[in-house]
Structure 1
């Protein structure tokens, strides 16, 4: 998925300026979640959406006005969707508008690199009323480590101030005031879920294409050097290896696994290896209920935990879709993976807030 910062960098490089429209916070029902963003060109063309309707229309008008005035302070729109906008959602949304020009291009590219890695940003309001951001280095536990620095204007890359007892801003709960600065953590893009996909056959190829615009980082593995197409989507890495089992052993905790190779014995070995790791929350295997029954018998023979055997997703894909066309299997499987991702995120530690939302 292309992040808003990557879009902004491209627009500034091509048009000299661009605006970032972001949903900073939401109370109640709203068209989009906090963090949803749009990149806006000086001529009013845009990429992305904050939900459409009157909310988006007014935010775009504000972005065009800000771009017409030139690079300036952050603007903040606080709107009640029912009374102010006549939208039936009925909630409250705070939307921010920031403008950028060629002076910000290096910073935007740094932010785009952070977004590609799923790295949050340490952000603060600077003395000019603009947002200064620095990529953070993730550490175990989900909090920020030290911010990376660089660039020509150090204050735009400086890490935010640290409060009493070395406190950093919280991962949720809005903005925390530390000293004289508003400081928060900001997600750059949906954090991609790592996915190990074993098999580059017809369904594997269709699935990689289905996952291309979705928040997954795909490691696509096959032992046949000529199995992969000449080009793969940007979020996928083709891996030719004679030792696919090592990929299971080296997978990061939280990775998803899908097994659909050309070999049933290989399917069995890879699936057993994945189920043996309790920290891999989603293990899927292509095949019928008969194949599952046969594999379950073998899993019990080798002593796999019964609960993990029951966790196996086989057949794959949303129930009720019986068509065997590879593209349809891929669509049903991609939707199932999104459901599994939602469950995994719900069980994960809180994520960084989107931006300045204090009244």
Structure 2
């Protein structure tokens, strides 16, 4: 969890002034953790601090907030009737484009009520820099400290058809994924692209494989079996952390044979997971997307799937 500066920047560009509401501290039980945040603007919001009455009241207050910074405390049981029973402290901050651009790019530390930076905060930041470790989100002596969020996983989605679009809808809100979305032409993509998704039209998508980090994860689901095959061929040569291919058992049997003829060993070919998703959910694009999303979000399960295929 961290301060998602890029999502905030995009929201400000789209909606003008945006209020960011973050859980700054917790006592007892809470629906979300310290650092969980939502963005609120006139007529809309994104993200969540846990839903329920707390989120509803916080969003309403954010829309009429006049001061740049507001710190508020909420007893979830007595005050709001929520079953968590704990108490949360919320920090609400109003941002425009100028204030977003002024934010630090590694750790964002700021006072909640003015004043100089206390020694405790200086020590925490110095220790984090010396050890190269991002500090945990926290409210410390009147200062809110949050590391800037950077996605930890690179996901390449090859294909912008029905399943590709459903996958992007499901996965793009997740903060730890940086998604690169590839297809053969710009008109293959929808008009509205979610924040954090990089669209890359390419006449020959397979030529882009060598640009992907070797630790990237890939989902191959283009409109063409020939293109799918060439992507698998290039990925096996290039390297990857995970690669999943949409298709039936028959398609995968043919692909294994063709990939072997291209010089890939059975052990190499077995690194590709096919089919992706959960066949028991059905063939509806959203069902395939839900199953495939669950699959890549369980990294430990990937090894089991690969072993099953090579057995």
Name the TM-score class by shorter chain: 0.5 to 0.7
Inter-partner Cα distance in structure 1 for 2:193 and 2:287 = 19
Larger RCO, structure (CA 8 Å, separation 6 or more): 1
More helix by share: 2
Shift of 1:337: 4.2
1:186 alignment counterpart: 147
1:129 alignment counterpart: 114
1:3 alignment counterpart: 7
8 Å CA contact 1:124, 1:160 repeated in 2:
no
Shift of 1:297: 3.7
Report SS of the residue matched to 1:320.
Answer: helix
Inter-partner Cα distance in structure 2 for 1:208 and 1:131 = 48
Inter-partner Cα distance in structure 1 for 2:116 and 2:166 = 36
Structure 2 counterpart of 1:267, from 228, 236, 248:
228
Unaligned runs of 5+ in 2: 173-177, 302-311
8 Å CA contact 1:23, 1:35 repeated in 2:
yes
When the two structures are superposed, what TM-score results if normalisation uses the length of structure 1?
0.60
Inter-partner Cα distance in structure 2 for 1:263 and 1:168 = 48
- CA gap of 1:336–1:172, structure 2 versus 1, over 3 A, is farther
2:99 alignment counterpart: 107
Inter-partner Cα distance in structure 1 for 2:77 and 2:265 = 54
* Pair 1:239 & 2:201 matched: yes
Deviations 1:245-280 (A, max 9, x none): 332222024423222345444422321332445533
Deviations 1:111-137 (A, max 9, x none): 6xx9xxxxx6421124962899xxxxx
Inter-partner Cα distance in structure 1 for 2:45 and 2:127 = 40
Shift of 1:289: 0.5
Inter-partner Cα distance in structure 1 for 2:113 and 2:61 = 19
When the two structures are superposed, what TM-score results if normalisation uses the length of structure 2?
0.68
Deviations 1:309-344 (A, max 9, x none): 444232233331333xxxx22x13332343245335
Inter-partner Cα distance in structure 2 for 1:253 and 1:91 = 44
Unaligned runs of 5+ in 1: 115-119, 133-158, 347-359
8 Å CA contact 2:276, 2:295 repeated in 1:
no
